[in-house]
Amino acid sequence: MPRKTLTIKSKVESLSILDEKGNVDADLDPKLNTQKSLELYRLMLLARRLDERCINLQRQGRIGTYGPCRGQEAAHCASGILMTPEDWVVYAFREPGTAIFRGWPIEHSMYFWGGFEEGCRPPEGVNDLPMCVPIASQVPHGMGLAWAMKLRGDPHCVLTYLGDGATSEGDFHEAMNFAGVYKLPCIFLVQNNHWAISIPVANQTASQTIAHKAVAYGFNGIQVDGNDPLAVYVATKEAADKARKGGGPTLIEAVTYRMSVHTTADDPTKYRSDDEVKAWEKRDPIARFAKYLKKRRILSEDLEQKIENEIQTEVRAAVERYETYCKSVDPSIVFDYMYADPAPEIVRQREEYRACLVREGVLKA
């Protein structure tokens, strides 16, 4: 009965393929073809330009509080593009690129942050849950979807996004535990952006990594450079392949950085230094990927400009669609989706509200 060190079956790895200077580890490079490479580049750039536009819209009062994703484009886009239509994606709220890839209209972000429920309506045929504000509460949903897949015998997987702050919540641990117990086809992707509003990750957990929290639940964790789209892609692909084959869940910690504010209602100068932000600017995922693609001669200056112009046009068109929609909205539709078959008390309240709006001149009789 000696004291000895146990051998734990679960494995924790760390992965980096493309560094901030654009150097690539040739052995680990997934060598995405031109089409896939450009699709990913375009998606990341679109997420960034949409992000910038939404911040402007907020400053101009055209949408409400906005939660940006700047700096986290690789962490979410390079994982999201691996999901097939039969897979499901469960969002936190900093993954607009993945949502657009999945088929959500660009303006869904504006609806959501502009205060319209329509921002949470998955388009027909898109197997996603909507953005989720209460931290970590979406993690059991991803687990439950995967559970249903397993019970149905469907060979798909679920990608669930969460942040470093969410790993302190009970819901995260409960979902991880169930996923391990039932060996569910789950990918839990933690975007460790270092800050949960004002709390640095060092004050969020005493764990050496977030990735190795998986060990306690009996499956593997991997920490990747979250600003390295190739590392995110490879780790997610391996996790997805494993999940779809019945190999169970994976926890991916994508180490990235929240380059912007928590939301537009937040002032990060109160709690973090400019030097820290500047240091991370050098590790920008989009600039890094552009360098790499240029080296591979997939991207040229001309093509870069062309993509930029196309994205600007798309975002502008999305803003127009959003603002046209805003004008047409009937405030009494807030009653319409409470129940499939609303009880008389709800129907009566809807009539009461409509009459009130007519009386106040908001609606025409």
Residues in touch with other proteins (CB under 8 A): 88, 90, 117-118, 120-122, 124, 129-130, 134, 137, 139-149, 151-152, 158, 170-171, 174-175, 177-178, 181, 336-341, 343-346
Shortest Cβ 126–other proteins spacing (Å) = 9
How big is the chain by its Cα radius of gyration, in Å? 22
CA distance 209 to 213: 7
Instruction: Tell me whether residue 139 or residue 311 sits nearer to other proteins (CB atom).
Output: 139
| Alpha-helix runs per DSSP H in 262-363 | 274-281, 285-295, 301-328, 344-359
CB 278 within 8 A of CB 88: no
Cβ atoms 196, 136 nearer than 8 A? no
- If the CB atoms of residues 25 and 118 are measured against other proteins, the closer one turns out to be 118
Minimum distance from residue 363 beta carbon to other proteins (Å): 20
Closest C-alpha to 25, from 35, 34, 15: 15
Q: What minimum distance in Å lies between the beta carbon of 113 and other proteins?
A: 14
Minimum CB distance to other proteins smaller for 27 or for 341? 341
Residue 35: CA count within 13 A, CB half-sphere: 0
Q: How far apart are CA 24 and CA 234, in angstroms?
A: 13
Q: Based on CB atoms, which residue is closest to other proteins, 158 or 243? A: 158
CB of 138 vs other proteins, minimal distance in Å: 8
Burial class of residue 82 in the structure, from the number of CB atoms within 10 Å of its CB (0-12 exposed, 13-18 middle, 19+ buried): buried
d(CA 165, CA 98): 21
Q: Residue 128: how many CB atoms within 10 A of its CB?
A: 22
Q: Which of residues 142 and 285 has its CB atom nearest to other proteins in the complex?
A: 142
For the bound state, the minimum distance from the C-beta of residue 124 to other proteins, rounded and expressed in Å, comes to 8
Please say if 339 is a catalytic residue. no
Burial 46-79 (b: 16+ CB within 10 A, else e): bbbbbbebbbebbeeebbeebbbbbbbbbbbbbb
Residue 42 a catalytic site member: no
Please identify, using beta-carbon distances, which residue of 26 and 340 lies nearer to other proteins. 340
Q: Smallest distance from the beta carbon of 130 to other proteins, in angstroms? A: 6
The answer to whether 258 is a known catalytic residue is yes
| Torsions phi, psi for 338 (to 5 deg) | -70, -45
Of 48, 102, 258, 283, which one is the catalytic site residue?
A: 258
Q: Known catalytic residues?
A: 258, 262, 271
